[in-house]
Structure 1
């Protein structure tokens, strides 16, 4: 399912029904409120729903999962208290398939590979370090990547996540010498103009929590000439 409807808050809605709403998140948007005090995407979506349906009082919206602030792409929210625990369960039991696209400058060692690392999170630095072998307090991280395209100066990778760890893709790609474009935190040499990193949550596949049908969502790439070459 593709689709983009703009909203006054630049909200790009990919899909919406009675139970869920799927958004194509922009770089810089935070999914849930944090210490910055910036208006989170969850509040923007609530305002959108309130306005669209002329709802009095509070609008229900459940946050199911998150994307890092500099990342773009698919975020799904629950519109009902019935759907939220079911969506949470799908994510917890890894019954969803998430596909990401990333732009990297260095060519990966293989065209296609599975990466297994042990990630240790440093809360103070808000960073995860990838280790080849298990270290205390580390969590096993597994992803599969393939090179989709070679661009002039970059490589487009498609990544399927098997585990969902903090900064997993950023940390694991950095560990094989392929930091994501714009990702200073994980070793890329310069930032992107809009402070984004070139990591996009491209596809999400899941069984609808209420309708029990298979749903496939796809988020258009950001409005950036380099990304546009990828689509």
Structure 2
């Protein structure tokens, strides 16, 4: 445990305390500082404050930096499909069937377990069970994910997600023949009040959700589409496509029971683009459709 004492100067008057502290030490991210403040590890003139406290000249600030929380997630050697990596970010192509981070019932075999064996420098903003994880895709969805290797990168990538500047394009096969070449689904998503494990379009305790789609090819009873996320809600594409009457092929939660022979939903996060947190260069990556997805698509074409 480290204890650091600071004093506010006249020039720093009215600066938010979380900004003041993150500026003081470039190694402290603003998110991390906010956590310390909420935990009571930051005091001003011997009193706890809120994250929006405005510093005043001669304020005496004491920061108690707790010892790092031991990471109780086991590193596991895996053959990860890394598309890009540098000191700040990593882009990985997650296979279908892999859970992104540990949770009750899935404490091993997750992407995080593999990432921890691959590299030790992952951001800690999301805690010990989700180091480096900026966004997620479902277990049975394959495709590209960006991973933060430090808190600076994590904050930048999260800001880009919030500002809707990250490119996330998915390929999907849905039931039914969509007659419109393209469209936008703007419908809020929240927890299903009956089935708490499912999401649904609702105005109750919901969040804005926007999905754009383009038809790639139509078949007798199926459509091959590309969906672009503007927001990133849990199960968003799966819920939205069901909402407009075209549920995903193979989706065990939101689709019909009788479907094509595929393990889980036919959904692939194929294109991912973002601004590099340090260089500010726009990077974009594309992962091809996995074999199982291609085989189902070929079967549909042959039947058509």
Q: Could you state the TM-score of these two structures normalised by the residue count of structure 2?
A: 0.64
Residues 183 and 190, structure 1, Cα contact 8 Å, conserved in 2: no
Alignment partner of 2:209: what SS?
Answer: strand
From 66, 70, 75, the counterpart of 2:140? 70
Higher deviation after alignment, 62-71 or 37-46? 37-46
Distance 1:116 1:9, change over 3 A: same
SS at match of 1:76: strand
Structure 2 residue 122 is matched with structure 1 residue 47: no
Query: Does structure 1 conserve the Cα–Cα contact (< 8 Å) formed by 2:261 and 2:296?
Result: no
2:278 counterpart SS class: coil
Do the aligned residues in 1 keep the contact of 2:170 with 2:269 (CA within 8 Å)? yes
Quick check: which has more Rg, 1 or 2? Answer: 2
1:173 to 1:44, Cα distance in 2 relative to 1, 3 A? same
Runs of 4 or more, structure 1, over 6 Å off, are none
Kept in 2: contact 1:100–1:158 (CA 8 A): yes
1:216 maps onto 2:284 in alignment: yes
> More strand per residue: 1 or 2?
1
Any unmatched runs of 5+ in structure 2? 1-76, 124-131
Deviation, 1:192, is 6.7
The residue number in structure 1 matching 2:59 is none
Residue aligning to 2:78: 9
Of residues 24-33 and 34-43 in structure 1, the stretch that sits farther from structure 2 once superposed is: 34-43
Partner of 1:60: 122
Q: Is the 8 A contact 1:222 1:228 kept in 2?
A: no
* TM-score, structure 1 normalization: 0.82
Partner of 1:149: 217
User: In the aligned structure 1, how far is the partner of 2:220 from the partner of 2:87?
Assistant: 44
Which residue is equivalent to 1:27? 96
User: How far apart in 1 are the matches of 2:218 and 2:295?
Assistant: 12
Q: Does 1:120 align with 2:190?
A: yes
Deviates more, 1:163-172 or 1:143-152: 143-152
Partners of 1:17 and 1:228 in 2: CA distance:
35
Quick check: 1:160 aligned with 2:231?
no
Instruction: Note the aligned Cα RMSD (angstroms).
Output: 2.5
Call closer, same or farther: CA 1:191–1:89 in 2, change over 3 Å.
Answer: same
Which consecutive residues of structure 1, in runs of 5 or more, have no partner in the other structure?
A: 1-7, 50-57
- Residues 11-38 of structure 1: CA deviation (Å, up to 9, x unaligned): 1111112211111111111111111134
Q: Tell me the distance in 2 between the aligned counterparts of 1:38 and 1:193.
A: 29
Give the distance between the partners of 1:193 and 1:43, measured in 2 at CA.
Answer: 30
Counterpart-to-counterpart distance in 1, 2:204 and 2:142: 32
Q: Is the deviation greater in 162-171 or in 10-19?
A: 10-19
C-alpha displacement at 1:87, in angstroms? Answer: 1.5
Deviations 1:97-147 (A, max 9, x none): 21111111211242211112122213853211124xxx2212222111111
Paired with 1:12 and 1:191, the residues of 2 have a C-alpha distance of: 29
Equivalent residue, structure 1, for 2:240? 172
More helix by share: 2
Question: Which residues in structure 2 correspond to 1:183-194 (within 5 Å)?
Answer: 183-190=251-258
More RCO (CA 8 Å, sep 6+): 1
